[in-house]
């Protein structure tokens, strides 16, 4: 039985059928259409191009620009660098997890936020810091971060 994802992916990678050397291009095409590359899409790409599924999995996990889970509407980058760590990034992360129901690398069930951890956002004086899309939020504490997330959620309608 073919799922919708499988048939869509099969269509997308038709130009690359039987061309193992085009693997990365094929994966880019799938990701720009679906937003990410789920396991069933990887299997379809492997079949179409004639490469082992393990090779497709290897490429998808090796390159940071490929994603295996859907991305939220907003990307939240929490700084886990030294200055932020010392000033309580851990408790901010806990508050994010409580508020969104997901931790680092996850996407909230409502599809609004993808949470990522980063090394340093270059705003150490404002530690602890996070960015939501292009906006920087500093001097965070658990209460403040929950308020920010609720505001963004509220304005998302």
Residue numbers at the binding site for ligand FES (CB under 6 A): 79, 81-84, 120-124, 127, 129
Question: Minimum distance between the CB of residue 73 and ligand FES, rounded to whole angstroms?
Answer: 24
Indicate the residue whose CB is closest to ligand FES: 81
CA angle 8, 13, 18 (to 5 degrees): 135
Question: Minimum distance between the CB of residue 124 and ligand FES, rounded to whole angstroms?
Answer: 3
Question: Minimum distance between the CB of residue 120 and ligand FES, rounded to whole angstroms?
Answer: 4
DSSP 37-71: --HHHHHHHHHHHT--HHHHHHHHHHSTT--SSPP
Question: Minimum distance between the CB of residue 149 and ligand FES, rounded to whole angstroms?
Answer: 19
Beta-carbon contacts of residue 108 (< 8 Å; ≥ 6 apart): 72, 100, 101, 102, 114, 115
Nearer to ligand FES, 26 or 123 (CB): 123
Nearer to ligand FES, 74 or 87 (CB): 87
Nearer to ligand FES, 139 or 151 (CB): 139
Nearer to ligand FES, 33 or 82 (CB): 82
CA–CA distance, 73 with 66 (Å, rounded to integer): 17
Q: Tell me the two tokens of residue 68.
A: 């295996």
């Amino acid at each position: 039985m073919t799922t919708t994802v499988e048939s869509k992916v099969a269509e997308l990678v038709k130009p690359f059928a039987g061309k193992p050397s085009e693997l990365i291009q094929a994966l880019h095409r799938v990701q720009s259409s679906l937003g990410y590359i789920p396991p069933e899409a990887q299997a379809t790409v492997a079949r179409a191009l004639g490469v082992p599924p393990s090779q497709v999995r290897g490429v998808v996990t090796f390159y940071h620009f490929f994603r295996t889970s859907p991305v939220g509407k907003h990307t939240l980058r929490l700084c886990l660098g030294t200055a932020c760590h010392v000033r309580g990034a851990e408790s901010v992360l806990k508050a994010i997890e409580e508020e969104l129901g997901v931790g680092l690398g996850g996407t909230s069930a409502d599809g609004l936020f993808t949470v990522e951890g980063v090394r340093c956002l270059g705003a150490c004086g404002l530690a602890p810091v996070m960015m939501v899309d292009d906006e920087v939020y500093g001097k965070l504490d658990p209460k403040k971060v929950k308020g920010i997330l609720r505001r963004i959620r509220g304005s998302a309608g």
